[in-house]
Structure 1
Amino acid sequence: MARTPDPDPVVSRRWRWALLAALGFVIVPLVYAVAVLTPLGQRAEDAALGGVRESDLFGTDTALNVISVPVILLLVVVIVAVAFARRRLAVGLGAGVVVLASAATSTLVKHIAVRPEIAQSTTPNSFPSGHATIALAALFGVLMVTPRRWRPLVTLVGAAYAVFVANQTVVYGWHRVSDIVGACAIALFWTALVRAVGPVVDRGVRGDRDGTVGPRRVVSVVLVVAVGVALAVAIAALVVGLGGGAHDHAAILLAGRLASSASVVAVVATVWFADGMHPRLVRRSS
């Protein structure tokens, strides 16, 4: 009996990215509506700002200062140059769109999504985080032009940097958890949209172009475990912060930092698995 041919993997991958783009598109207004447009959402997030103290700030804001317009433009030029050297100029242009469109969308949403004064908040609007958006979009753009065998290393380094940026913005009191989640959704939306309708990033049979299986398995485990641990500790810190008579703002701030970190790692893991980087077990035919 003839075997039914498998669906075109390119088509299935495009549908997968299209669904992720739709998810990112929905998350942005949903988070804004719940966390910014409701008194409960505003009070919950502002409780974390009460834990911000100058003594808790990181010793340097270099990671944040790196993100600037000249650096973004330089990054796009480098991405396109690398893609051109690899004879994948169309992919490089798509990666540039991911970075520039994500940055522009974050700026536009920040001006459109105003923060109404409905919870006696004295802090200005900050939705979404431009720094977190660019850090993630830059990672996803770089990954598009990076050979598959090097993506595990780039993913871990880029994810660590994005987590550090998200943490700094929360610790400094610049942003709330919803700002980071919104940033993650914007970066996911543009990455997935470009991957869905743009040029195919990986051509032909992968084979040994993926490199050894070990590093990819390690990255998969690290990403999943990191999300789980961050969420578990965030929930524990939130319970401590809300327990008792008075709120422990330091514990609530810690919960916010970890929830923000979990959001960043979760979106990185989503792109990692959607890109087919996790090694699959192949059954041998009998």
Structure 2
Amino acid sequence: MSYASFPSGPHASYPAPGAPGPGAPRRVRARSVVGTLVVLALLWGLVLVVAHAGLQTVTGQALDEVALAQAKADRNAYFPRPVLVLAQYAPEVVALLAGVLALVWAVRYRRWTAALCAAGAVIAANVTTQFLKHGVLDKPDLGIQQIASNSFPSGHTTAAASFLMALLLVAPPHRRARAGRWGAFLAAVVGMLTVVNGWHRPSDAAAALLVVAGW
């Protein structure tokens, strides 16, 4: 018969009675589940709020149009030509680099379950964006915007942000904080560049980030 060794020495510590051991699975608390459901309801509720304000109201369409027109007018004054050229490829480059790094981390740290969840979330986020844009949401022509076709949410922003989300999900614990900070920063930059490039209005990018966050 073998016995587990007990810690010894002046700084030894013993687990509290009833506390799980080092290898025991963590228990999911009801408070965590309720908190997660509240956050999910808030995120998807914000998608609906932004959709209604940006698509269905005169004020929302006007603000979006003014922001897009101002971005087009100022981009040549504040951004050098080479930066504007590179900005055209920013969503694809960010998505590609994040996807490759996520794959490397998944293999190196054997994060197979996290990788499967990340792949599912990437697919779900992009399908959701396309379904909302082409199958659910409609933008009425209120006589405000030059182009009345619906571009809400932004597919470019969703693609880049979803791969950054995948990178966060497969990141090992010691890299997770940095992956989250850089991921949030790059996702915001890509969203703003879609406006600077004249592809999308601010509400399109904001909704795309909320969709990814929801998944």
Both proteins in one fold, TM over 0.5 = yes
Aligned 1:188-199 pairs, distance under 5 A = 188-190=213-215
Counterparts of 1:3-152 in structure 2 under 5 Å?
Answer: 8-9=27-28, 11-51=30-70, 52-53=72-73, 55-56=76-77, 58=79, 59-68=83-92, 79=102, 82-112=105-135, 113-123=137-147, 124-152=149-177
Work out whether residues 143 and 154 of structure 1, in 8 Å CA contact, stay in contact via their aligned partners in 2.
Answer: yes
Which blocks of at least 5 consecutive residues in structure 1 are unaligned? 191-286
Residue 203 of structure 2: aligned partner: 178
How far apart, in 2, do the equivalents of 1:119 and 1:32 lie?
Answer: 18
After TM superposition, give the deviation of residue 63 of structure 1 in Å.
4.9
Aligned to 2:13: none
How far did residue 179 of structure 1 move?
A: 1.0
Larger Rg: 2
8 A contact 1:43–1:119 mirrored in 2: no
Does structure 2 retain, via aligned residues, the 8 Å contact 1:28–1:186?
yes
Q: How many residues align?
A: 185
CA deviation after TM superposition for structure 1 residue 108, in Å: 1.7
Of 160-169 and 9-18, more deviation after overlay is shown by 9-18
8 A contact 2:158–2:212 mirrored in 1: yes
Superposed displacement of residue 172, structure 1: 2.2
Does the aligned pair in 1 maintain the 2:122–2:166 contact within 8 Å? yes
Q: Which amino acid letter does the alignment assign opposite residue 124 of structure 2?
A: A
Runs of 4+ in 1 over 6 A off after TM superposition: none
Higher mean displacement: 117-126 or 33-42: 117-126
Q: TM-score when scaled to structure 2?
A: 0.72
Offset at residue 41 of structure 1 (A): 1.5
CA distance in 2, matches of 1:120, 1:178: 15
Q: State the shift of 1:8 in Å.
A: 4.1
Q: How big is the alpha-carbon RMSD for the aligned residues of Structure 1 and Structure 2?
A: 3.0
| Counterpart code for 2:158 | T
Q: Which amino acid aligns with 1:55?
A: N
Aligned partners of 2:194, 2:77: CA distance in 1, in Å? 12
> Aligned partner of 2:69: which letter?
G
1:136-159 Cα deviation digits (max 9, x unpaired): 222221111111211222223222
Residue 8 of structure 2 corresponds to which residue in structure 1? none
Cα distance in 2, alignment partners of residues 13 and 140 from structure 1 = 21
Q: CA deviation at 1:60?
A: 3.1
Q: Assess if the C-alpha contact under 8 Å between 1:95 and 1:141 holds in 2.
A: yes
Q: CA deviation at 1:80?
A: 5.3
Please report how far the alpha carbon of residue 169 of structure 1 lies from its aligned counterpart in structure 2 after TM superposition.
1.1
The residue type paired with residue 213 of structure 2 is L
SS at match of 2:144: coil
Give the Cα separation in 2 of the matches to 1:77 and 1:160. Answer: 18
Aligned-residue identity in percent: 30
C-alpha deviation, 1:56, in angstroms: 3.9
Paired with 2:129 and 2:78, the residues of 1 have a C-alpha distance of 25
CA–CA separation in structure 1 for the residues paired with 2:103 and 2:36: 22
Shift of 1:121: 1.7
- Cα distance in 2 between the residues matched to 1:163 and 1:74: 16
TM-score normalised to structure 1 length: 0.56
- Structure 2 residues not aligned, in runs of 5+: 1-16, 20-25
The 1:18/1:145 distance shift into structure 2, 3 A limit, reads same
